[in-house]
Chain A
């Protein structure tokens, strides 16, 4: 079993829709959770990071962590064609520990 599971998609939504992207994980030591966005043929860029459980909002993006269920989500409101990308979740117990990545969900927002 992988430490981090992420549905690869692809996920196609119409412009303006609310998008929900999710990951589950098995390692209860993970405390820091990140979302990366990766455009085609580019490197991943850090979108958001959160610590422990709860929500964090940044513009149209909301990251949510439920440590009791070992489940994290990224919500995108009013989705735009420019949001079309692959979204990778990532997590770590912090400090000197490496980051573990999900395999990514490909999102397409259709105009």
Chain B
């Protein structure tokens, strides 16, 4: 069964901490995405990557960075966590050039910053 795996389901971090969210896919997909999901705001794209070492800003990149050293792994980094980054974070992947088949999502990481 193909899947996107996010390393943590729940995380609690302190304000100012550096936070790493990890995502691994086993589908050999080129595209990988990081979204955050908040009530009433839906899915908002933070960053995406269409190849190793490539990254593109999404709609809300401020306060975040990403790393893609291997095709199957895409990491989201919160440089200095703040309470307004408390959210559900979702990783997704897709084949390059085939977005008509949609994205495959991970189960999400619920991050609480205190």
Interface on A for B, CB 8 Å cutoff?
8, 31-32, 34, 36, 41-46, 49, 51, 88, 90, 92, 94-99, 101-104
Q: Indicate whether B55 reaches chain A with its CB closer than 8 angstroms.
A: no
Q: Indicate whether B47 reaches chain A with its CB closer than 8 angstroms.
A: no
Size class of B's contact patch?
Answer: 20 to 34
Question: Which residues on the B side are within 8 Å of A92 (C-beta)?
Answer: 99-100
Question: Which residues on the B side are within 8 Å of A90 (C-beta)?
Answer: 102
* B105 x A44 contact (CB < 8 A): yes
Interface on B for A, CB 8 Å cutoff?
4, 40-43, 45, 48, 88, 90, 92, 94, 96-108, 110
* A49 x B40 contact (CB < 8 A): no
Task: Choose among A43, A99, A101 the residue that contacts B108 (Cβ–Cβ < 8 A).
Answer: A43
Q: Given contacts A88-B43, A102-B42, are A95 and B107 in contact (CB under 8 A)? A: no
Cβ-closest chain B residue relative to A47: B102
Task: Choose among A44, A46, A99, A104 the residue that contacts B90 (Cβ–Cβ < 8 A).
Answer: A44
